[in-house]
Amino acid sequence: MEPLIVDDSPSQLLGLKRIVEKLGHETLTAEDGAAGVEVAKRELPDLILMDVVMPNLNGFQATRTISKDPTTSHIPVVLVTTKDQETDKVWGMRQGAKAYVTKPIKEEELTATLKGLLPA
């Protein structure tokens, strides 16, 4: 399994990578939404952890692009963000996200979400 982690914060990227790798998965990374879409199309990861607030293409836009593209539409996207309002969550799910996890990350919550979405 190779989930893709998209986040513009090096420390967040590292934290997410640590949690995912602890579950025994390799990881791909991208530092903004545009790069995330590019890596998703090229590598076809099993899952994408997507930050929302990023330069260039934000996470909502990148998720919409990935979920509408026939090449990548099968890839579950989990939005991982500080945006914790119900309206943000509803909007994120409307863009095609399969789950929504708020920062600061609770490792147990993220692990349960990943286990629920990744093939065993």
Domain CATH for 30: 3.40.50.2300
How many separate domains does the chain show?
A: 1
Q: Which domain holds residue 93?
A: 4-112
Q: Assess if residue 118 is contained within a domain.
A: no
Q: Is residue 100 part of a domain?
A: yes
Could you say which DSSP state residue 104 is in?
A: S
Contacts 24+ apart (CB under 8 A), 110-118: 110/16, 110/19, 110/80, 111/19, 111/23, 113/78, 114/3, 114/20, 114/23, 114/47, 114/78, 115/23, 117/47, 117/76, 117/78, 118/1, 118/3, 118/25, 118/46, 118/47
User: Residue 4 pairs with which residues in a beta bridge?
Assistant: 28, 48
Residue 117 lies in a domain: no
Decide if 120 is inside a domain.
no
pLDDT tens, 9-51?
A: 999 999 999 999 999 999 999 999 999 999 999 999 999 999 9
Residue 10 lies in a domain: yes
pLDDT band at 1 (very low <50, low <70, confident <90, very high): confident
- How confident is residue 120, by pLDDT bands cut at 50, 70 and 90? low
